[in-house]
Structure 1
């Protein structure tokens, strides 16, 4: 017998219920993990509210670290006792223990602590595909990163800086502006007090940015397009403020022959080889010290509803972990 958070009905944070659950032995291709730390991500909110549909009931969460307790038939590259993490898996991370497809597991280097792994894998893999694959950032590029003081934002700002880009970040408060400025942002825009488009044009001498990385969605989409230069790329990878409404595709032509993509980590880590290559790239940049993982909030797993309220209120910065 173990415990997990269960969502019986979609809705607010109060729908996150702490329950006893029973687990079978791992089947073919599966592993049984005892979690030591679990990552909190905005995608968890999307599933809880029903924005991203999932069969009910379900246990949220896609990112965690822990110890392998048992493996099923056919699992050869993961063994009981291994320290592992994952950041791209079926739902089910909000649990003391869980069964998981073994091919989603990443063996952790000794120098990465469990809490750090749980805080960095989904967000770090997201930053990896955004900066290294969706739009491969190179020296001299000008990039705009929304929610620069959030989990993905802090990692992406540091990484883009290390790649030689001019990094412009948006935040919602002076406290978050100070945090972003110490984590790779050359220019920080407080969007509640400053005109985003005018400030970006000022910073770039009227040119605009090469790429916008936007995990906010509805509230920033239109202005983001206006921040791009001719043939720039809009990367809409999240919906923290709600989904982007339908729009006339001709708008992209009107604003300069813009490109638009709506990716997710699953599109880039679709095979085990891709997943491991992305993780290796992430581990390498973190080990250099150029990208630091900051855990600013910790909640007990049983208090996941409290963590969701803080996340949705934009009261968190950096990474948050849930502790079983």
Structure 2
């Protein structure tokens, strides 16, 4: 490895299961790369709710576990068999272990080269939007193909994915019904394309959905909340409606009998982004769409706040408090 690359780096990791006390900011070895891998010096990393699932033990992982799911940065070393990237290339990528100064990653995978001399602002924007925008793009095209005139129920509508879903649903000529816990969040959702607003802390979500849809229910629901909203979502769907469940913010959905879907011929999906971008062609298709939408300003990525890497514990508390809107970003020390 180059003498310019240190042997140790600063990372954010968890060393156990529990509260914020298991989050540590400490020295950790810089990974060694194989002949087919890249070493990326990270600049920005996006904060995602999924990190809390690992910390709380909802998703198992070996400890210590370096957190992070996406980042932007610069290639600083490459294996001898790598031909598609050069040292100095700026990149955006989806990977584990991005809450770190350096991440190793295969040269073939969920990584894209950014235009030369991409600005710092754009690097931050791509880090903020990559994972969530690709999630929203693939879900609205494949989990449920949103069509003109559809009524779509969106939970956590002022969160990172929610704000993007609002915009994409509106672009497709459908009606976005936003659910959030405060009027302030709902106003943000409205600015980002939501047509109908439901305050879950003051209103009966199901009653409002039926009022908005003249008793029919919604064509589809994108539900990232999980246990607490499952029954409401099931009841809010119209005949032949599609239930897209993709998060566990309130806990795992208890086991259910599949026959409960029969009365209205409900389709229930539990999609994950990675299964939609497995093939290189799929990755290119969705990343090209993402870059085009962001660069043309048709899609706006709202950044709530940028935190220093060492302050991830604060960011984790903020995102889990349900007080944030849009995306939280970490700035990696250089």
Q: Indicate whether the TM-score tops 0.5.
A: yes
The 5 A counterparts of 1:23-102 are 23-87=30-94, 89=95, 91-102=96-107
> 1:261 corresponds to which residue?
269
Matched, 1:161 2:170: yes
Contact kept, 8 Å, 2:31 with 2:102, in 1: the verdict is no
**3-state secondary structure, aligned to 1:61:** coil
Q: Does 1:212 align with 2:217?
A: no
Q: Name the counterpart of 1:190.
A: 199
Q: Paired residue for 2:243?
A: 234
CA RMSD, 1 decimal = 1.3
Q: How many residues align?
A: 321
Shift of 1:198: 0.9
After TM superposition, what 4+ stretches of structure 1 lie above 4 angstroms from structure 2? none
* Alignment correspondent of 1:176: 185
Question: Which residue in the other structure is 2:4 paired with?
Answer: none
Which residue of 1, 22, 27 corresponds with 2:29?
A: 22
Indicate the residue corresponding to 2:301 in structure 1.
293
- Alpha-carbon separation, structure 1, partners of 2:293 and 2:144: 17
Instruction: Give yes or no for the alignment of 1:125 onto 2:159.
Output: no
Is 1:318 the counterpart of 2:323 in the alignment?
A: no
Q: Cα distance, 1:289 vs. partner?
A: 2.1
Question: Is residue 106 from structure 1 mapped to residue 115 from structure 2 by the alignment?
Answer: no
Bigger mean CA offset, 165-174 vs 268-277 = 268-277
Alignment partners' CA distance in 2, 1:44 and 1:75: 31
| TM-superposed deviation, 1:221 | 0.9
Residue 142 of structure 1: which of 151, 159, 174 is its match?
151
* Partners of 1:275 and 1:12 in 2: CA distance: 35
**Greater mean deviation of Cα atoms: 175-184 or 110-119:** 110-119
The answer to whether the Cα contact below 8 Å between 1:40 and 1:61 also exists between their aligned partners in 2 is yes
Q: Contact 1:159–1:290 (CA<8 Å) still a contact in 2?
A: no
Compare 189-198 and 272-281 and name the one that shifted more: 272-281
Unmatched 5+ stretches in structure 1: none
Q: State the shift of 1:33 in Å.
A: 0.8
**Equivalent in the alignment of 2:259:** 250
- Give the Cα–Cα distance (whole angstroms) in 2 for the partners of residues 210 and 276 of structure 1: 29
Q: What's the CA shift for 1:199?
A: 0.5
2-structure distance, mates of 1:172, 1:290? 27
CA drift of 1:142 comes to 1.1
Q: How many Å separate the matches in 2 of 1:259 and 1:133? A: 13
Deviation at 1:24, TM superposition (A): 4.1
User: Are 1:161 and 1:167, in contact at CA under 8 Å, matched by a contact in 2?
Assistant: yes
Deviation at 1:63, TM superposition (A): 0.7
Cα shift readout 1:126-156 (whole Å, capped 9, x = no counterpart) = 1111111211112111111110000000011
Contact 1:34 1:97 in 2 (8 A): yes
What's the secondary structure of 2:227's corresponding residue? coil
| Residues in 2 aligned to 1:101 and 1:58: alpha-carbon distance in whole angstroms | 19
Alpha-carbon separation, structure 1, partners of 2:216 and 2:83: 53
Q: Secondary structure at the match of 2:210?
A: helix
Higher alpha-carbon deviation: 67-76 or 152-161: 67-76
TM-score (norm 2): 0.93
State how far apart, in whole Å, the 2-side matches of 1:136 and 1:158 are: 15
Q: CA deviation at 1:79?
A: 1.5
The reply on whether 1:303 has 2:311 as its aligned counterpart is: yes
